[in-house]
Amino acid sequence: MNSVVVTLAVIIFGMLMLGIGFTLRARGLGVFLMWIGVLSMLSIITYRIYLATSAVAV
């Protein structure tokens, strides 16, 4: 898969989880969904750093 497609898919998933979690923030499930959204956004940063520092050109 192309790295742009992976990045876009994770960003869309993360934003969806953040949006749903923020809507349900009074419940424990909403807080959990927001954590999933935040961690997915941080995973994009990690993934892009990995691609930038890897020896394999994409």
Residue 57 inside a domain? The answer is no
Number of independent structural domains in the chain: 1
Which residue range is the domain that position 23 belongs to? 3-52
Residue 42 inside a domain? The answer is yes
Residue 13 inside a domain? The answer is yes
Least confident of 3-12, 18-27, 30-39: 3-12
Residue 58 inside a domain? The answer is no
Residue 35 phi/psi, 5° resolution?
Answer: -65, -40
Helix (H) or strand (E) holding 24: none
Residue 24 inside a domain? The answer is yes
- Rounded CA-CA distance 7/3 in Å is 6
**Could you report the per-residue pLDDT of 23-50, keeping only the tens digit for each?**
999 999 999 999 999 999 999 999 888 8
Q: What's the CA dihedral at 40, 51, 4, 6 to 10 degrees?
A: -40
Give 23's contacts (C-beta < 8 A, 6+ positions apart).
Answer: 30
